[in-house]
Amino acid sequence: MRLGIRTFNPIIWFLEAFGVLPTPLIVGFWGMESSRALIAACELGLFAALTDGPRTAPDLAHVLRLDETGTETLLNALTGFGYLKRRNAAYAMRHSTRRWFARNARIDLTRSFGLFRVLWTELDDLEERVRNGGSRDFHRPERDAEFWRRYEVGLAEAARLTAPAIVRAVRLDSTPRRLLDAGGGHGAFSAAFCTRYPGLAATVLDLEPATLIGRELVAERGLSDRIDFRAGSLTADDWGRSYDIVLLFNVLHLLSPADAAQAVRTAFDALAPGGTLAVLDSVHSESRGGIDIVGGGSELLFYAINSTRAYPEAQMLAWVGDAGFETIRVKHLLAMPEVLVTAKRPSA
């Protein structure tokens, strides 16, 4: 998969196919504008306001208390980028846009774009990060409540797209009763497991600001009686014992190699004999073969925001094996460019 040009002009298709167009220049500029226009539309409530039908720019500006000229230019941009259509001065969402951004959508991606607004700011000093390196903690204590809300809500909405498929892919020998979701602050994966296993109770261990948002999100899904939250550090606090499942979902890439290895060992100790570890994470391609847009983009993002990287699959498997796990299985997910590793703590 690569970024490309979306247009209804067949001449442009032809020129791009033969490498005549300066595609990097076009994608660099219009890709930037397209991303920022989507973020602004979500932040300003444009898609929600268009859910009930077409509206003109002056009407939207009045309802949303926006500048009329600014509203029209943003609507025109979204039309040009293929998200809206315009007829007789009225704008409406295209079918594909409505599926993800309508107010009553099954999964409304609008809330995910709050996270993208945070990441846009985080990437502002990318050149300095690459030039000088150094450490950075994306989850630093001074972050305000608005950051945590955008971050956790955005992650939760994205997780809901794939969580049911991931839960089905985790093979269990028996019906689980207790689950620990280490670092799963938004609770979306715990909720998916609880939905699949009606007798399951889950505990989410994460930093306190994350758990505050997670409790709200779980309450929205009516699962507060089955999912509890415990504030704490994955590297400094006790995880508890005798869980049937421990999840390390999108956690290892946030940790140093030493801390990542320790997290896997701590998960082993937290499991009951015969319990299951499930690790979900992006994978570093190492130095062999090609790398796609998702793998390369993830690598850069993790480094820019947290001074970390995705780890090679072989490294993660080594940590799991060294911790004492057995029956190690690897599944490369079709629904998302990540690897799912499951393993068992020996029964005796």
Could you report the per-residue pLDDT of 239-253, keeping only the tens digit for each? 999 999 999 999 999
Place of tokens 């990540």: 338
Please indicate, yes or no, if residue 237 is contained in any of the structural domains.
yes
Place of tokens 């939207």: 60
Q: How far apart are CA 68 and CA 61, in angstroms?
A: 5
* Percent of the chain residues past pLDDT 70, beyond the cut: 89
Residue 12 has pLDDT above 90, yes or no: no
Query: Each residue of 123-178: pLDDT tens digit?
Result: 888 899 888 888 888 888 889 999 999 999 999 988 888 899 999 999 898 899 99
Q: Are residues 84 and 196 in the same domain?
A: no
- What is the pLDDT, as a whole number, of residue 3? 47
Q: Are residues 245 and 303 in the same domain?
A: yes
What domain range is 88 assigned to? 10-106
Going by pLDDT thresholds of 50, 70 and 90, the confidence category of residue 21 is low
Please indicate, yes or no, if residue 196 is contained in any of the structural domains.
yes
- What is the pLDDT, as a whole number, of residue 287? 65
- Tell me 221's DSSP state: T
Please indicate, yes or no, if residue 185 is contained in any of the structural domains.
yes
Residue 4 has pLDDT above 80, yes or no: no
**Which CATH number does the domain housing residue 284 bear?**
3.40.50.150
Residue 196 has pLDDT above 90, yes or no: yes
**Helix 23-44 to helix 68-80 angle, to the nearest 10 degrees?**
130
Segment 95-117 shows an average pLDDT of 87
Mean pLDDT of the chain: 88
The pTM (predicted TM-score) of the whole model is 0.85
Please indicate, yes or no, if residue 3 is contained in any of the structural domains.
no
Going by pLDDT thresholds of 50, 70 and 90, the confidence category of residue 285 is low
Terminal Cα distance for the chain, rounded = 46
Residue 17 has pLDDT above 70, yes or no: no
How many domains does the chain contain in total?
Answer: 2
> Which residues, at least 6 apart from 73, have a Cβ–Cβ distance to it below 8 Å?
none
Q: Are residues 183 and 80 in the same domain?
A: no
Q: How far apart are CA 309 and CA 282, in angstroms?
A: 9
> In this predicted model, which residue has the larger pLDDT, 212 or 22?
212
- Domain boundary (86, 106, 126) is at 106
Report the C-alpha dihedral over residues 245, 248, 249, 252, rounded to 10 degrees. Answer: -170
CB distance 46 to 75 below 8 Å: yes
CA nearest 230: which of 268, 190, 278, 265?
Answer: 190
Q: Are residues 33 and 162 in the same domain?
A: no
Q: Are residues 215 and 102 in the same domain?
A: no
Segment 309-335 shows an average pLDDT of 90
Please indicate, yes or no, if residue 140 is contained in any of the structural domains.
no
**Which CATH number does the domain housing residue 98 bear?**
1.10.10.10
* Percent of the chain residues past pLDDT 90, beyond the cut: 61
Please indicate, yes or no, if residue 119 is contained in any of the structural domains.
no
Q: How far apart are CA 208 and CA 192, in angstroms?
A: 22
Q: How far is CA 43 from CA 27, 30, 232, in A?
A: 23, 20, 31
Going by pLDDT thresholds of 50, 70 and 90, the confidence category of residue 291 is confident
